[in-house]
A and B are shown apart, each in its own frame.
Chain A
Amino acid sequence: EIVMTQSPATLSVSPGERATLSCRASQSVSSSLAWYQQKPGQAPRLLIYGASTRATGIPARFSGSGSGTEFTLTISSLQSEDFAVYYCQQHNNWPPRWTFGQGTKVEIK
């Protein structure tokens, strides 16, 4: 099983500041990496796919980078609505043995 490790577990950021979230895979997943945002009481929402492509309707302040085993989600200037938990997910296999990271909570500093 490919293990996805996210860091940090919690990130305290002030509105308007930049947030950088990391996701590491235990083996290469190429660019088959997605990021999801989950707010309390809501379902996850797709933010980034293919490691760096924003999903439809996602603001440009969200960007993804990386390939292989190291990935980054950057939120350039945090807005109040961005405080949430963020998950990475690898989908680099079929039949699917997809795995998620444990999540990074972005909270207000």
Chain B
Amino acid sequence: TQLLEQSPQFLSIQEGENLTVYCNSSSVFSSLQWYRQEPGEGPVLLVTVVTGGEVKKLKRLTFQFGDARKDSSLHITAAQPGDTGLYLCAGRPPSNAGKSTFGDGTTLTVKP
């Protein structure tokens, strides 16, 4: 089983601060996804990164895939209360298109 370790597990910051969430593994993934989940709902995909070293931006969110395709980061600039939620990374192994492994999640709280 391929494991994904997310850190930190909990993050509480003030509006306007920057933050970074990390997703690390000892295994190679063919792709990594970042999801956001609100209470009482299923996860919603934010981005997929596929190429080692890839950087994608989604407004104030910047996603990076490690060169070796074993890790990823999510950076939020000038966080807002609306960013509050559970952030999950997920990866697919190169050998099996059907399998999907999720990290334990990072619970982000942005205080006004």
Q: Are A and B interaction partners? A: no
The chain B residues found within 8 Å of chain A, CB to CB, are: none
